[in-house]
Amino acid sequence: MTFQNTTKSQFNRPSLSARVLQFVGAGAFMLFFAYCFMWVLLNWLMGCGEVFYQADGSYIPGECAPFWPWQFFGGNW
């Protein structure tokens, strides 16, 4: 009779598909969070929402980067 080294944690281990799905989901969440963080940082560096006053009293508003780099509903008519 041979001794089998089994522990309770081996029986409660999630399946391979569950671990792959968890890995892919965590990666997608990290990419989305990084995109949102870079979008906020880019808009801050571009001066989004701020105005830059000129010497003659006029002002130039800061540009804002769009969240999506494409338009879902464009004026292509």
In a domain, 69, yes or no: no
Taking the C-alpha atoms of residue 40 and residue 65, their distance in angstroms, rounded to an integer, is 9
In a domain, 31, yes or no: yes
The range of the structural domain enclosing residue 16 comes to 11-61
Q: What is the pLDDT of residue 2?
A: 67
Structural domains in the chain (count): 1
In a domain, 50, yes or no: yes
Task: Summarize pLDDT for 14-53 with one digit per residue, the tens.
Answer: 888 999 999 999 999 999 999 999 999 999 998 888 888 9
Domain-embedded: residue 48: yes
Q: Provide the pLDDT for residue 22.
A: 95
The Cβ-side half-sphere exposure at 44, using a 13 Å CA radius, reads 6
- Confidence (pLDDT) at 26: 97
| CA of residue 30 relative to chain centroid, distance | 6
